Structure 1
Amino acid sequence: MAKSLMDYLDLRKKHTPRNGARRAKLFSLAGVVGLLLVLAPPPLASAHGEQSQQPFERTSTVAFYDTQFSTDRLDVGQELTITGTLRIMNSWPDHTIAPPDLGYLTVNTPGPVFMVEEREMSGMFTPQSVKVSKGGIYPYKIVLKARIPGTWHVHPAMAMEGTGTLVGEGKYITINDAGTFTEPQTLSDGRNVDLASYGLGRVVIWHVLGLLVAVAYAAFWLRKSLLQRAAVVNAGGGATLVTPKERNVSIGIAIVALVLGLGGYAYAQVFDGPHIPPQVARLSPVPQTPSGLARQLETQVQSAVFQEKTGTLVLKVNVDNKSNSPVRLDRLQFADYVVTVTDGAKPDTDGVATVSPSGPIPPGGSSNLTVELDARSLLSRNLLPTNDAQIRVTGLMFFQDAAGQTSTSEINELTSGVLPEYGTQ
């Protein structure tokens, strides 16, 4: 074995100059390519990631509507308020994902560009996850403080246990490079601190210490050529690679790392305090009471037909108006896509739907409405699942009476299967 190993190493020495020159050329070429990649300006990436989610996740789970942003431009340290209403849909697909029970009101942003100052559901302060119920309607409010300058796409969102984060309508918000971000707080021991920088120096110190240990350990093992070690292993001498000295050094570095970890814990116990474990309180916001109009209006989607050639979605809706005021269909919403009902518009117009018969539904009357809208807009937003195992359409219909009172009804997944008509002209 020893002789064969020596023969192998002698053979490597004979070819070292040529192989070394070849490796030098390859490394030089790789260095030039790497330098060009570093110097080249990166392309600007921009996309709506929520459109990658399955249609049922966006339309049948949590619906955000009447979303309002207090501003679209502010300075660092100023506040942005998002208000609106979220609805846990009755059409929540229990057969596909876990039933809705626990949710967390939040925002979806490209990193920590804002800090959440306040969040409310149904007027209740909700700093943690809350209990929700299917069919529940919750007015919400989120107050954010601007941190990092730039233009950012911001969504209100609801993170549901077992499902993931479900987002509402988004908007681009510009944070000007002006102002200062601070977050003053009073600790339980009476100290006044700024959470924007509190403990930052200690975090940096411990990271640097850990990095030094890691670099020292890596440098110790990389002091020998990896190719040389590979040659020894290939020749069957792997058992001789690690020397007693190297074992002792590795044990020493492990002890240093352990001492650093335990020392950091001991330091925090001695110099910080008092220590209080994170507190958990499972609140249950009270769902909004349905409006008087909602209690007197009954709707039922009879059918949903996708006309493939014309690109039109046709809904047949039965409406029974038991109120004492005329009612009309005002708009529809699928996830964050809003379609407004307009008399005289063509159904192939983006964001517009037509209804026949036109005009309001009289008090005490009923009507079978035919609603037509451009399905190509739904397809382009990945909201119409024409290639899924269950071709369903789910959304909201908003009705309004003469006094401006509104009622929200669901286009329910369980009753609104899409029937494709591929031969329709």
Structure 2
Amino acid sequence: MKTRRKAVKQIIEHVEAKTKKILLSLLSLGLAMSWLPSPSYAVQGMGAKSQEAFLRMRTVVFYDTQFSFAPTNRVKVGEEFSCTGKVMLMPTWPEEIPFTGISFFNFFVPGPQVLRKAIWVNEKYFQFNSVVLEKGGTYAYKMVLQARNPGIFPMGPMLSMEGAGPFIGPEEFLTIEGTKGSFANPVKTLLGNTVDLENYGTARVITWTIFTTLIGVVWLGYWLAKPFTRRLGLVAAGRKEELFNPLDRQVCFLFTVGTIVIVAAAALITKAQYPVTIPIQETKYYIKPLPPEPTLIQAEVTDATYDVPGRTLSFHIQVKNVGDKPVVLKEFLTANVRFLNPDIPGNTWNPSFPEVNGGPMKVSPSEPINPGETKTIEVSMQSAEWENQRLTMYNETTNRFGGLLFFTDPSGTRQIYAIADQIVIPKFGAAIGGGM
């Protein structure tokens, strides 16, 4: 019996030693990796295609997007650039997506590669808080940014809405030239001091990070030094009252009191060093949408189909010209993919467009719609981008599409018509159903 107990004890001690060694190795590896610099790699887009098609096509549409660095797509570290455009919140918002209206205009980029200097909404609202937007409203934005780190990065406008998530606009790849150490971000404080936000307070942050990490390591080290496997056995045997001895309780008390004292003392010291502070602002303010553009047409989509083998979206739309000049359908924009009507002179693709080139849009009949005339036209767009951009819709639970139709008259006046709630009937071809 004694021999058996001795063997079990040796096994337990062996397991304890192995477990302790593995845990200490993992802890050391984690600490070492936490101090390693992040690897530099080329980012291949922002992953907007991972979002559902109905989410990108029927919620928020960005248009008239322009980047000041086009067409070279190159800036230097420290150089400022801008992004301007408009965004429409679709009037027929999907019931599957909550609409709160509480939003924030932002600029997406993988990591802190650029510095956001300012954002204006509707040319007069300098945005530093969340804003409340209207369903069906159109808003103009201007973002001023500054290049911070060298590299090649995708970037573009973005609208984040509470409860609905981020809506990503068209993106461009920007090459930032120069060296990282040459960037500075001087700011004058309310007290008249000038500080460089690029490195202001960095030493304090690093010091506190190291200090608190050491406290955590000592805490873990104390408990890992205990017979780990034996403690698990005590819990399994229902003898958990034997887990803590008087020394353990004293150590817990010292760590608890010491942590509270350190945090309180640090807060008092910081308050004494920086007596003038401003709390983080939480105000949300309402912004009226832009006035609607001139009314040229009245329109209604009657049906829509998607030819799966042919990768073709087609729909019929009944259009009534209520203006005093003939109008034509110039383009269709959805989910940052742009389709142009080639029958309009000069309506060709410009390489500086930040949207994806969806290809030509066939409009039949192609003749202009005269004043007072009502005509049903068929719009057809055959493009591989329906598949490439994951906008096929037939394999989603919400089989509807949306986007913006751009009509124009000879003077260049345009009418934007939003379609956002038309069901799409998929056509799989005769080969699939031929055997039924």
Where do 1:343-358 residues align within 5 Å?
343=343, 350-358=358-366
Q: Does 1:173 align with 2:174?
A: yes
Judged with a 3 Å threshold, the aligned counterparts in structure 2 of structure 1 residues 374 and 324 are, in CA distance, closer, same or farther, namely same
The residue aligned with 1:129 is 130
Q: 2:393 aligned to 374, 385, 395, which one?
A: 385
- Secondary structure of 1:141's counterpart equals strand
Tell me if structure 1 keeps the 8 A contact 2:186–2:194: yes
TM-score by length of 2: 0.83
The residue aligned with 1:278 is 280
The residue aligned with 1:241 is 243
CA shift for structure 1 position 54: 1.9
Q: Does 1:73 align with 2:74?
A: yes
Greater shift after overlay, 220-229 or 128-137?
Answer: 220-229
Q: Structure 1: which 5+ residue stretches go unaligned?
A: none
RMSD value, Cα: 3.1
Q: Distance in 1 between matches of 2:138 and 2:215?
A: 54
Greater shift after overlay, 197-206 or 255-264?
Answer: 197-206
Greater shift after overlay, 172-181 or 332-341?
Answer: 172-181
CA shift for structure 1 position 8: 6.8
Counterpart residue type for residue 11 of structure 1 = A
- Secondary structure of 1:202's counterpart equals helix
The residue aligned with 1:417 is 423
Greater shift after overlay, 137-146 or 201-210?
Answer: 201-210
Tell me if structure 2 keeps the 8 A contact 1:63–1:88: yes
CA shift for structure 1 position 44: 6.7
The residue aligned with 2:293 is 291
Judged with a 3 Å threshold, the aligned counterparts in structure 2 of structure 1 residues 76 and 43 are, in CA distance, closer, same or farther, namely closer
Q: Distance in 2 between matches of 1:246 and 1:102?
A: 50
Tell me if structure 2 keeps the 8 A contact 1:51–1:381: yes
The residue aligned with 1:267 is 269
CA distances 1:268-296 after superposition (whole Å, capped 9, x unpaired) = 2211121222234433333222233xx12
- Secondary structure of 1:338's counterpart equals strand
The residue aligned with 2:337 is 337
The residue aligned with 1:56 is 54
The residue aligned with 2:213 is 211
Q: Distance in 1 between matches of 2:13 and 2:262?
A: 45
Judged with a 3 Å threshold, the aligned counterparts in structure 2 of structure 1 residues 97 and 57 are, in CA distance, closer, same or farther, namely same
Q: Distance in 2 between matches of 1:8 and 1:187?
A: 74
Q: Does 1:402 align with 2:378?
A: no
Counterpart residue type for residue 148 of structure 2 = R
Q: Distance in 2 between matches of 1:315 and 1:263?
A: 69
- Secondary structure of 1:351's counterpart equals strand
CA shift for structure 1 position 330: 1.3
CA shift for structure 1 position 84: 0.7
Q: Structure 2: which 5+ residue stretches go unaligned?
A: 34-38, 345-356, 432-436
The residue aligned with 1:88 is 89
Counterpart residue type for residue 218 of structure 1 = L
The residue aligned with 2:353 is none
Q: Distance in 2 between matches of 1:198 and 1:43?
A: 27
Tell me if structure 1 keeps the 8 A contact 2:311–2:387: no
Q: Distance in 1 between matches of 2:97 and 2:400?
A: 16
Q: Distance in 1 between matches of 2:238 and 2:397?
A: 56
Where do 1:181-200 residues align within 5 Å?
181-200=183-202
Tell me if structure 1 keeps the 8 A contact 2:311–2:386: no
Tell me if structure 1 keeps the 8 A contact 2:296–2:415: no
Higher relative contact order (CA 8 A, sep 6+): 2
Counterpart residue type for residue 332 of structure 2 = L
TM-score by length of 1: 0.85
Judged with a 3 Å threshold, the aligned counterparts in structure 2 of structure 1 residues 186 and 16 are, in CA distance, closer, same or farther, namely closer
Q: Distance in 1 between matches of 2:417 and 2:298?
A: 8
Judged with a 3 Å threshold, the aligned counterparts in structure 2 of structure 1 residues 15 and 137 are, in CA distance, closer, same or farther, namely closer
Tell me if structure 1 keeps the 8 A contact 2:170–2:336: yes
Q: Does 1:11 align with 2:14?
A: no
Q: Distance in 2 between matches of 1:224 and 1:189?
A: 53
Percentage of matched positions with identical amino acids = 29
Tell me if structure 1 keeps the 8 A contact 2:152–2:174: yes
CA shift for structure 1 position 18: 8.9
Q: Number of matched residues?
A: 401
Counterpart residue type for residue 306 of structure 2 = F
Tell me if structure 2 keeps the 8 A contact 1:109–1:155: yes
Q: Does 1:300 align with 2:300?
A: yes
The residue aligned with 1:151 is 152
